């Protein structure tokens, strides 16, 4: 299983002081030496963490392929086309959200996504769509002609966190707040089943399948066991652990969990 390490949260820490420390660029060699297969970053419209200059430096210096997450927003897509990362992952973006809260509406935004895909293809950038694990989203993605889909694992991860800590991970899970443990187990099973079904279906249509969001050292193993998923993109839990263990151990511990 391939591991993409999302280093946005290093820039989150830097932005807490608006200085140049810690520099996300310093993470590249450590991630590569510790078993990461890819670097993932998200250039958000509000530039709350990664800035244009970070993206430029990371893409030009990275020893690993860079997966640049971005919204379907013309000014951002122009930057992506000029930076030419290995891959662009199209994600939905809301300014008020704490993190990417759901998958792209690939059916509702079909035409604007198609225009964006055409631009990226002209620039020879591999394309992934970050979608909810549903058959409808996968069918639309396949029609859109992308190579990859990344399945949003947030519902599974939030329910898992609630089951094991009795605290919601984010407001995603608020509708499940009053559920009993048994009901939560059923919901985790359903959320997991949806990921398994979506991954198998996407693979059967010839798509490459990645997954991510909210994955951590506790909840990742069942996702690793889905053999139609070939890549995980994980950020927050790795950078959070690195505060205590150092980045090298945090990445290699996660890479060990990603072995099948
Ligand atoms: N994949 C995508 C498409 C994302 O938007 C994010 C969050 O930026 C991640 C993976 C990583 O999520 P997390 O930081 O919760 O591991």
For residues 70 and 82, the answer to whether their CB atoms sit within 8 Å is: no
Cite the active site residues. Answer: 42, 69, 213
- 87 pocket-lining for ligand 1 (C-beta < 6 Å): no
Contacts 24+ apart (CB under 8 A), 242-245: none
Cα–Cα dist 63/65, whole Å:
7
Q: Ligand 1 centroid vs 8 CA: distance in angstroms?
A: 9
Cα–Cα dist 4/231, whole Å:
7
Report which of 213, 205, 79 is spatially closest to residue 157, judged by C-alpha positions.
213
Topology adopted by domain 2-152+230-257: TIM Barrel (3.20.20)
- 235 pocket-lining for ligand 1 (C-beta < 6 Å): yes
Report which of 195, 15, 2 is spatially closest to residue 86, judged by C-alpha positions.
2
- 6 pocket-lining for ligand 1 (C-beta < 6 Å): yes
- 91 pocket-lining for ligand 1 (C-beta < 6 Å): yes
Closest atom of ligand 1 to CA, residue 233: 10
260 residues of the chain, pLDDT tens digit each: 999 999 999 999 999 999 999 999 999 999 999 999 999 999 999 999 999 999 999 999 999 999 999 999 999 999 999 999 999 999 998 766 666 678 999 999 999 999 999 999 999 999 999 999 999 999 999 999 999 999 999 999 988 988 887 555 455 455 556 778 888 899 999 999 999 999 999 999 999 999 999 999 999 999 999 999 999 999 999 999 999 999 999 999 999 999 99
Cα–Cα dist 54/60, whole Å:
10
For residues 11 and 39, the answer to whether their CB atoms sit within 8 Å is: no
For residues 37 and 3, the answer to whether their CB atoms sit within 8 Å is: yes
Sequential DSSP letters for 7-75? -HHHHHHHHTTTSS-S-GGGHHHHHHHTT--EEEEE--TT-SS--HHHHHHHHHH-SS-EEEEE-S-HH
Best of 7, 89, 103, 235 for a ligand 1 pocket test (most atoms within 8 Å of beta carbon): 235
């Amino acid at each position: 299983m391939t591991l993409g390490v999302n280093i946005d949260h290093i820039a989150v820490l830097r932005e807490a002081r608006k200085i140049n420390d810690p520099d996300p660029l310093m993470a590249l060699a450590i991630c590569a030496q510790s078993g990461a297969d890819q670097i993932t970053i998200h250039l958000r419209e509000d530039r709350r963490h990664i800035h244009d200059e970070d993206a430029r430096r990371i893409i030009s210096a990275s020893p690993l392929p860079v997966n640049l997450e971005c919204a379907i927003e013309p000014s951002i897509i122009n930057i992506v086309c000029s930076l030419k990362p290995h891959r662009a992952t199209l994600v939905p973006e809301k300014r008020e959200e704490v993190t990417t809260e759901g998958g792209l509406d690939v059916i509702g935004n079909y035409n604007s996504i198609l225009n964006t895909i055409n631009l990226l293809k002209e620039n020879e950038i591999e394309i992934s769509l970050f979608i909810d694990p549903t058959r409808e989203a996968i069918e639309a993605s396949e029609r859109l002609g992308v190579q990859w889909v990344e399945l949003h694992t947030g519902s599974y991860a939030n329910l898992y966190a609630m089951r094991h800590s009795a605290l919601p991970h984010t407001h995603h899970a608020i509708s499940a707040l009053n559920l009993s443990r048994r009901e939560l187990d059923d919901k985790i099973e359903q959320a997991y089943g949806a990921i398994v079904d979506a991954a198998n279906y996407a693979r059967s249509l010839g798509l490459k399948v990645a997954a991510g969001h909210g994955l951590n050292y506790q909840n990742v193993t069942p996702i690793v066991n889905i053999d139609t998923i070939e890549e995980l993109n994980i950020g927050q839990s790795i950078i959070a652990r690195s505060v205590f263990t150092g980045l090298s151990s945090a990445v290699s511990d996660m890479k060990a969990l990603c072995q099948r």
